Amino acid sequence: MSKLSIAYIFQNQQLLVDHDFQLPQVGKLKDDLILSADFEVIARDLKQNESIPSGYQLVPIRQLLQVWNKQQFEQASRAVQLLEWRRNHQFCGRCGEKTKQILDQFSMKCPSCGYSQYPRVNPCVITIITRGDDEILLAKNTRHKKMYSLIAGFVEVGETLEEAVRRETKEEVNIEIKNIQYLASQPWPFPSNLMIAFRAEYHSGEIKLEEKEISDAQFFKFDALPELPFKGSIAYEMIMHILHGNRVADETKEWL
Ligand SMILES: [Zn+2]
């Protein structure tokens, strides 16, 4: 039997953990994705007819965000994103041939034309907009019943991060902003984003909603906020930063 490794075993966006939310140790299989140089951390999907070992359960990774520390979550996040990348690049995007996985550099390489496909992150800007000393702009996505969050969206080809911040704000709520400042970043595995956080100040304009995406948006007083995003999300940390001066995505602190 091969040496045991710590395993991230996923089914969709759920991860196999024991009742204390710890990862299993299993023997390595042929097509497991190796996450560490010493082969001690691996990742794979739960096989179709593989049963869940007794004492273990499948838990959505969003839920683990609330019981794990930042480092544990980021490693799980990396595992789920690499598996997603491998699943989506089984064929060459240039010539259609079946690709081969190059183990030591996370590349899916085409044996026929030589084209290599690497994991990709999607940059996504997220902005907290203040007005005066005691108001922040929060918007409710049409997908959510009660929760309000920040203005966010993907960076487009040829655009700077600051241009993306201005454009998304203009598109979603139709206002102009000023003093855009970088705050922090966070990898976000749903499915493979890099969230890049900014703060900005309201400059001018009336709120007008992009109704396909946003069902409500208002400047809320600090002491009268609606339901907020969950702890561990960068949006939550950004709001706490504005309210209480907490650092955002601080490397040295655990989230809880
Ligand atoms: Zn090819």
213 and 140 share one domain? yes
pLDDT recorded at residue 37: 77
Q: By mean pLDDT, which of 204-208, 231-235, 242-246 is the weakest? A: 231-235
97 and 190 share one domain? no
Answer whether the bond into residue 189 is a cis peptide, omega within 30°: no
Question: If you measure from the C-alpha of residue 89 to the centroid of ligand 1, how many angstroms do you get, rounded to a whole number?
Answer: 11
pLDDT recorded at residue 250: 60
Assigned token pair, 118: 């690497």
Query: Can you count the helices (H) and strands (E) in the chain?
Result: 4, 15
Question: If you measure from the C-alpha of residue 98 to the centroid of ligand 1, how many angstroms do you get, rounded to a whole number?
Answer: 8
- The whole-chain average pLDDT of the chain stands at 90
- Please say whether the beta carbons of 79 and 33 come within 8 A: yes
Sign of CA dihedral 107, 27, 52, 78: negative
Q: Has residue 155 got a pLDDT over 60?
A: yes
pLDDT digits over 76-118, tens only? 888 988 998 999 999 999 999 999 988 778 899 999 999 999 9
pLDDT recorded at residue 252: 45
212 and 101 share one domain? no
Whose structure tokens read 């999607």? 122
Residues spanned by the domain of 70: 4-88
* CATH number (domain holding residue 135): 3.90.79.10
59 and 141 share one domain? no
94 and 196 share one domain? no
**Is 255 inside any structural domain?**
no
Question: If you measure from the C-alpha of residue 91 to the centroid of ligand 1, how many angstroms do you get, rounded to a whole number?
Answer: 8
Question: If you measure from the C-alpha of residue 117 to the centroid of ligand 1, how many angstroms do you get, rounded to a whole number?
Answer: 10
**Is 51 inside any structural domain?**
yes
Question: If you measure from the C-alpha of residue 108 to the centroid of ligand 1, how many angstroms do you get, rounded to a whole number?
Answer: 10
CA atoms of 82 and 98, how far apart (whole Å): 18
For residue 237, the tally of other CB atoms under 10 A from its CB is 22
Question: If you measure from the C-alpha of residue 95 to the centroid of ligand 1, how many angstroms do you get, rounded to a whole number?
Answer: 4
pLDDT recorded at residue 34: 85
Question: The whole model's pTM is what?
Answer: 0.81
Identify any residues that bridge with 196 across adjacent strands, giving them in sequence order. 125, 185
Selection from 241, 229, 233, 219 nearest residue 138 by Cα: 219
Total structural domains within the chain: 3
Question: If you measure from the C-alpha of residue 84 to the centroid of ligand 1, how many angstroms do you get, rounded to a whole number?
Answer: 20
Mean pLDDT to the nearest integer, 233-241: 92
